[in-house]
Amino acid sequence: MTSPRKLALVTGASGGIGLEFARLLARDGYDLAIVARSEPKLREVARELHDAFGVDVTPVALDLSAADSADALAARVESCDVLINNAGFATNARFEKIDESRIEEEITLDVLTLTRLTRKYLPGMLAKRSGRILNVASTAGFLPGPFMAVYYACKAYVISFSQAIAEELRDSGVTVTCFCPGATDTGFAARANTGDTLLFKFPRANAKAMAKAGYRGMQKGKLMVVPLLGDRVVELSARLTPRRMLLWFSRKAVEVEEQHA
């Protein structure tokens, strides 16, 4: 008699790094629950992964920026062995010009939903003394970000939160890994209005390669994964550069002309 396959839950799985995480998990024999806003895209991904790897894939169409979305997801997927909190978005604009509703959605998705999902699925993992949690932050979390102040602050929260919970879980059988990629070739830039910025004019990392780095780190139970040398330079520079200079560099990386108006 074969034992049931483990279940992995991946948010933001309809494209980009989230989709690549789902492919890696399916390759390794995990059944999947994949979450994103677009049901047609999720169903397409579910078919692809089932046909390629023979695993069961449950698409869950949810807007995780809604306040009650963590409850709705937990009602559909009661437990998991691997949780990848990947969903997130950013806004590149002067803070006073951003709609308050968008600010609320950004903080809800990037901070509150991630935190609540970790809280909802962690007890089940602890009961089995086995589980992996991967929280996707960003190199943005290492420094303040003028014109993307909310996003950078959210990612700083994810780094701090993930490290603290990881320490609480020492020797529990459950690990928490924080993944901090830099600029990557996904749909992120278009939604954030950063496609024409200096940050995204340089060569961008490949989503598949980034996902592999994060996935390996998670499976090894690493505390932090900062995948590329350039990303690690950002981390080090944030510690050593004088604050005013750091703010100037951070500003220039994402500034666009209309932000001067």
Spacing of C-alpha 98 from chain mean position: 22
The residue from 151, 152, 157, 215 that is catalytic is 151
Residue 204 or residue 53, greater confidence: 53
Q: Out of 100-104, 173-177, 237-241, 250-254, which region has the weakest mean confidence (pLDDT)? A: 237-241
CA angle (223 as vertex; 103, 236 as ends), nearest 5: 75
Mind listing the pLDDT tens digit for each residue in 241-251?
677 777 766 77
C-alpha 213/C-alpha 87 separation (Å) is 17
121 is catalytic: no
- Domain ranges across the chain: 7-260
Mind listing the pLDDT tens digit for each residue in 113-157?
999 999 999 999 999 999 999 999 998 898 888 999 999 999 999
CB 20 within 8 A of CB 207: yes
The residue from 30, 152, 155, 215 that is catalytic is 155
- pLDDT for 4 equals 81
- What average pLDDT score do residues 61-71 get? 97
Whether the pLDDT of residue 73 is over 80: the answer is yes
CATH code of the domain occupying 7-260: 3.40.50.720
Whether the pLDDT of residue 59 is over 80: the answer is yes
CA distances from 91 to 6, 135, 181, 235 (A): 36, 20, 18, 22
Q: How many C-beta neighbours within 10 Å does residue 222 have?
A: 17
- pLDDT for 200 equals 54
Q: How many C-beta neighbours within 10 Å does residue 188 have?
A: 22
Under the banding of pLDDT at 50, 70 and 90, the label for residue 255 is confident
- pLDDT for 239 equals 72
pTM of the shown model: 0.88
- What average pLDDT score do residues 101-107 get? 97
Q: Which amino acid is at 173?
A: G
Question: What proportion of the chain, given as a percentage, has pLDDT over 90?
Answer: 72
252 is catalytic: no
- What average pLDDT score do residues 31-53 get? 97
- pLDDT for 194 equals 60
Under the banding of pLDDT at 50, 70 and 90, the label for residue 110 is very high
Provide the token pair at 248. 């100037």
- What average pLDDT score do residues 185-190 get? 58
Average pLDDT, the chain: 88
